[in-house]
Amino acid sequence: MERGQHRRQHLRSGREFICFLNHSERAVLADKRIYVILDNYAAHKKDKVQQWLARHPHWTFHCTRTSCS
């Protein structure tokens, strides 16, 4: 993925979201900061997703408000 590129994908679970993150992680250089804009979908709030995020500090999640999406 490149700057400004986006990917729209319907993910039903935290496990699918982690698979998406791992796939995306392999597509970018390790020294790049990655900003992900998320809607109010709950998968990114799962413990395993939060653990994944803690192990990948160059990733930052920005979540929209519930009333905005």
Verdict on whether the full-model pTM lies above 0.85 = no
pLDDT value at residue 68: 64
pLDDT value at residue 33: 92
Domain boundaries, the chain: 30-69
Per-residue pLDDT of the chain (69 residues; tens, 9 = 90+): 445 455 555 566 778 888 889 998 998 887 889 998 887 766 777 888 889 999 999 999 888 877 665
pLDDT value at residue 65: 75
Q: What type of residue sits at position 8?
A: R
Tokens of 27: 């597509």
Tokens of 14: 């935290």
Local structure of 43: helix, strand or coil:
helix
pLDDT value at residue 11: 60
